[in-house]
Amino acid sequence: MSIGGHDEREQTLNQILTEMDGFTGREDVVVLAATNRPDVLDSALLRPGRFDRRLLINPPDLKGRREILAVHVRSVPLDADVDLETIAAVTPGMVGADLKNLVNEAALLAARRGGNTVRLRDFTEALSKIQLGSERRIVVSAEERRRTAYHEAGHALMGMLTPGADPVRKVSIVPRGHALGVTFQSPDTDRYFYSEPYLRGRISGMLAGRAAEQIVFGDVTSGAESDLEQATSLARQMVGRWGMSEQVGAMSVLPDPRREQSFLTDGTGSSPATRELVEMEARRILDECSRNAFDVLDAERSRLDALVQALLSAETLDMAEAYQASGLPSASGISTGPRRDESREG
């Protein structure tokens, strides 16, 4: 039984409560319910005496994803280059249904190319397709293609040069979904908390595409829209949720990220002065990270140009190719697709 925040939740709640109130201690009836939206459940359903046990099911960790994948590939002929540990490592946050979909999509791609086995590149392409959509067959002018290459190269190079950043797994200027290009990064292991330097590095990486455009072309475009949205949201959370600002201090102003929009008006209980201070501190973090991205890429212009030339030639670079083109030592880990991406909107 699934309970969620939909139009019929009141009827569902009343039906469950009616049925549960009809039970006695002599009846062998077990009531099970599951939801991925516990925040919308009525307090009448959660009061003591309703349910004996409450279990919190988290997404599987690395070992769990590896074992789930093993179940779903039992009837799938795998190539010798497929390592389930490799695939599990770059799918953090995915649950069983996601992993099953990944295996099915990889098998379909293998069948379309006429292969007898499913290769690692099929899983890589399947992951990209699931996360970003299918490749778009559109005509992009030479100037836009070059600008997109610099934008994505900026993301990638900043990720490679930032200490402690997630390794860059793939860089591409092939249009997918709404994006003209993408840069993939993902950690080697599951992360459960984030340090301030790591988060600042992420923001610098998000703003690096825009910085690369400023350095090379002297202006910016609307292609950084998604990057700015992500960076702004992350900076606000650093200040308003995680106490990463000396001016605001150890104070939770944004207790729930889903209420961030209401934070800008009212709805959080914080004063207008506090909200204004959070905005000022978030802007300070964004400005510092933007300057950092600009300074690093400007100092490494030769590496940026080299990576762009490789992108314009190959269109898609995996981990080893991207690090080699940049003249940097390859990061440890694997080179299939990741969970997180920074994309230039098209």
Reference 304, options 182, 196, 204, 208; nearest CA is 208
Averaged pLDDT for residues 47-60: 81
User: Are both 162 and 96 inside the same structural domain?
Assistant: no
Of 304, 154, 311, nearest in space to 224 by CA? 154
135 SS3 class = strand
Q: Are residues 21 and 74 in the same domain?
A: no
Which amino acid is residue 52, in one-letter code?
D
The verdict on 264 and 221 lying in the same domain is: yes
Encoded tokens for 112: 């379309």
In degrees and rounded to multiples of 5, residue 90 shows phi and psi of: -105, 15
Same domain? 329 vs 220:
yes
Q: Are residues 202 and 329 in the same domain?
A: yes
Measure the CA dihedral 227/301/150/215, to 10°.
Answer: 70
Q: Kindly state whether residue 137 falls inside one of the protein's structural domains.
A: no
**Three-state DSSP class for residue 344:** strand
User: Is there a domain that residue 160 lies in?
Assistant: yes
The residue among 251 and 110 whose pLDDT is bigger is 110
Q: Please give the residue range of the domain that contains residue 91.
A: 62-132
Residue 228 belongs to some domain of the structure: yes
Q: Which of 46-50, 190-194, 311-315 has the highest mean pLDDT?
A: 311-315
Q: Is 14 within a domain? A: yes
SS percent in the chain: helix, strand, coil, step 5? 55, 10, 40
Q: Within this chain, do residues 315 and 184 fall inside the same structural domain, yes or no?
A: yes
- Its pTM stands at 0.76
Question: Does one domain contain both 190 and 297?
Answer: yes
Q: Could you tell me where the beta strands, DSSP code E, fall in the chain?
A: 168-172, 179-185, 316-318, 340-345
List the CATH number of the domain containing 116. 1.10.8.60
Per-residue pLDDT at 75 exceeds 80: yes
Catalytic positions are: 152
Note whether 119 and 148 are same-domain residues.
no
Domain boundary among 39, 57, 75: 57
- Helices 196-217 & 301-314, crossing angle to 10 degrees? 80
Q: What's the structural domain count of the chain?
A: 3
What does the pLDDT read at residue 5? Answer: 47
Q: Write out the two tokens for 140.
A: 């992009």
Rounded average pLDDT over 178-186:
84
Instruction: Clarify whether residues 99 and 4 are in a common domain.
Output: no
- The dihedral built from the CA positions of residue 201, 203, 209 and 211, taken in this order, carries a sign that is negative
User: Are 191 and 114 found together in one domain?
Assistant: no
Which pairing describes strands 340-345 and 316-318: parallel, antiparallel, or unpaired? unpaired
For residues 67 and 203, state if they share a domain: no
Do 150 and 317 touch, CB atoms closer than 8 A?
no
pLDDT tens-digit series, residues 1-17: 444 445 566 677 677 77
Taking the C-alpha atoms of residue 97 and residue 112, their distance in angstroms, rounded to an integer, is 23
Distance in angstroms (rounded) separating the CA atoms of residues 4 and 87: 31
- Asked whether residue 22 is domain-assigned, the answer is yes
Average pLDDT, the chain: 83
pLDDT band at 189 (very low <50, low <70, confident <90, very high): confident
What tens digit of pLDDT does each residue of 87-135 get?
998 888 889 999 999 999 999 999 998 989 999 889 988 988 887 777 7
Domain boundary among the residues 42, 57, 72 is at 57
CA–CA gap between residue 60 and residue 45 (Å, rounded) = 27
Asked if residue 82 and residue 21 are part of one domain, the reply reads no
Give percent of the chain with pLDDT exceeding 90. 43
Which of 76, 110, 132 is where one domain is finished? 132
Mean pLDDT of the 197-224 span: 94
280 and 222 Cβ atoms separated by less than 8 Å: no
- β-pair partners for 168: 185
Question: Is 290 buried (19+), middle (13-18) or exposed (0-12) by CB count in 10 A?
Answer: buried
